[in-house]
Structure formats: structure tokens, C-alpha cells
Structure 1
Amino acid sequence: MTHDPLTGLLTDLRPLLTAETAAEAHATGTEPGDLEQAVWLRLLERLATDGPPLDPPAWLRRAVRAEARRTRRSARFEQPYGTEPADDRDRGPERLALAAARRRALREAVRRLPGRCAPLLEALLSPEEPTYRQIAGELGISQGSIGPERSRCLACLRRLLAPEVAARQVRG
């Protein structure tokens, strides 16, 4: 039986990553598993481009803290709406037309997203409101990866829509 060095590295780092993310997650207001998965993704991206870090435990600690900072930073700017504009009780024809236009613009933007983002967000926007388990089965991904993937996809969608929203605001 051969021992894959990558598998060994991941196995060796798992307890440290679990401990580090558990310690940092509370301050970020996120789940330790979400933070852990984001760091695993960073590590896999690094392995694909630069190979393993010279000091994997030190790299892992820095990556956890960087990901925690990123999560805290984005949480400051993400504020939930009290109600969705389309859920407003005043449903005159103008409001309905504006809500329909917003939904169309959102769907068009979602279709322009790269990779797995488009199908994931389409599933999450589905009127049938599928569960994470159903979405995972439909897309062939793990149920635990939906949350972090959703966060990355929404960040990508925000970047994609930012110029359009800014342009509309300027025009009034």
C-alpha cells in the first residue's frame, strides 16, 4: 500500500485546522465548519499552483486568521433587509413591474456567473425551495460545501452587479 504525501499532509493538518477554526469561528460569527472548508479550499488552491507550503502548520494558522478576517470584514458590510422589496404589501402595478425587473436582472446575472456558481444559485433561488440535501444530490456536491460555496458565489455576484447598481444610482 502506497502512502500519498498529499493525503498524509491533509491528515496531519486536520486536527490543527479543526482546533484553529473552532477558536476563530466564534469571533467571526460563522460556523467552524464553514471557516474550515474555506481554509481547505485555500490550501488546495495553493497546492495546485505553488505546491505545499514550507511550514504547513504555520501556513495553516496564517490562513485561518486571514480567512477569519475576511469573514469579519464581509459580515460588516452584509446587512439583512427587514423585508424583501418584492414582499412589500403594497403591490400596485408599478411595484410588481419593478419586482419582476429585479428578478429578471438577478437571474440574468446569476447565469453569467462562472463555474458551479450559476447552477448552485439557480437551485437556491428555485421557487420549490429545495433543501441543501436535495441541492447537493442534484449538483453532485457535498451538502457541507453548499454554505461556503454559496458565500463565494454571492461575493462573485456582488462584484458582478456592483457596476450595474452604481451606474443606476448615478443616473437616478
Structure 2
Amino acid sequence: MAHELVLSLRPLLSAEASAEASGCGAEAGDLEQAVWLRLLERLGEGGPPPDLPLWLRRAVRAEARRVRRAARRETALTGEVADAGRHDPERLALAAARRRVLRDTVRRLPGRCPRLLEALLSAHDPTYREIAGELGISQGSLGPERSRCLGCLRRLLAPEVAAR
């Protein structure tokens, strides 16, 4: 049974891991291995999840988020902690101002761009399939549309960046 399970899930896991790997800076094989281990642990604790393909997709995304969080915590080459100065009031105020300018500029973008960029930057880390469903467009058109929206955002932010 386990061999059949591995054979049936391998293509899905491979595709999901390949899709997430570049965004988190990990190797697809490392993500796959981590998810296989999580599945084995889950099977040992009480059996497979009810919707195994959905669980697998979520496990890959969770593992990719874990890798991204770990990378942010690592020490920089200079030996400084990556988030040093995190509580500096001046830095916090400047970062808040930059986020405000960015949010305001995103809202001024044309068409579906504001919704698309908000979905891409969402804290719950949706997949392209979920974003496409939410926006009512094909998954294949998300990449080109994202590029167009980011180009518009760059043009709108250029005067703001030049002013600094």
C-alpha cells in the first residue's frame, strides 16, 4: 500500500515542490523530502489525512514558508543578525512610511492590478490557481499580468524613489 501511495503522490509532490522551490530559495528535492517525512510522521500518528492531495499541497507551502523564515533569521555575512535594528524607532517610522506609499500607489494602479498584487502579497500565501480563481482569470495569464502590473507600479514609484 505504501509503495502505491508513493507512486500516486510523487508527480503531484514533485510539481508542487518545483513550483515553490524558487520562491523560497530551496531545492525542490529538499522540499519533497521534508514533505515525505511529514507524511510518514502523520501516518504514524493516526493515518492519512482525509484529502491527501490537498494536505500535500499545503504541506509543501508550509515547508517553503519555514525555509523562508529560517533564511530571514540567518546571520548576514558581516556577522550581524538579519533583523538587527528592528526596534529602532526611526527605522520603524521610515518603514511604515514606505509601506504606506507602496499601499497608496498599489491602489492607484489600473484594472485588476491592485487586487492581483494584494493577492500575491497576501499573508496566507495563495497559489497561482487560487489567485486565478479569485480574480476570475486563467492561471496562465497571471504571469504576464503580474509583469504588466509591476511595470506600472515601477513607473508610478519612480518619482517617489528619485525624491529620496
Give me the TM-score of the superposition, normalised by structure 1. 0.45
Ranked by relative contact order (alpha carbons within 8 Å, sequence separation 6 or more), the top structure is: 1
